[in-house]
Homo-oligomer: A and B are copies of this chain.
Amino acid sequence: MATTPANVMTAEDVLKNWQGHRRLTRKTIDAFPEDKLFHFSVGGMRPFADLAIEFIRMAVPTVEGVATGKWEEFQYDSPKPTTKTELLALWDAQTTALNEKFPTIPPLRFSEVDKAFGQWEMSGMGIIQYCIDNEIHHRGQGYVYLRALEIEPPPFWER
């Protein structure tokens, strides 16, 4: 048995895995007809556009907070998306921002405990993991919405 911890993921692996999931989420957004994207849900839950906007509001601000220790809410450069085209454009801008900002996280910040957004006390990796897991969780809900609409969701294993 190993006496030193087995390091199994690098920062680069985490970003790669996250962006793979984000590509799948983008396909999921795109699979919805526009009116259903913004208005349809099951069991009184939020429509998928609202869930996608939650992912956007969490991703880059979390990475910036982990990188810098400054926890600031997401700021829209333009009005909040109300069409699929606007939502996908904002999504793509965040993909680029994430690729730029993630590598600026100082290695020690992944294990350092901070109070994310003044509320959640956890390690940098812990809060990043939470963002990724939250996206997988809610995207799975979007798959149920699509099935209820008789639309085939994108294959889960394709990234």
A binding-site residues for B, Cβ under 8 Å: 1-2, 5-14, 17, 21, 42-45, 103-107, 110-111, 125, 129-130, 133-134, 136-141, 143-150, 156-157
Contacts and interface: CB of A to CB of B under 8 A. Distances in A.
Contacts of A150: 43
A156 to B, nearest CB: 6
Nearest to A150: B43
Given A5-B12, A10-B5, A144 B43 contact: yes
A54 to B, nearest CB: 12
Nearest to A144: B144
A9 B130 CA distance: 14
Q: Which 3 A-B pairs have the closest CB atoms?
A: A43-B147, A140-B140, A7-B7
A54 B16 CA distance: 26
A137 B140 contact: yes
A125 B5 contact: no
A10 B6 contact: yes
A148 B21 contact: no
A63 to B, nearest CB: 13
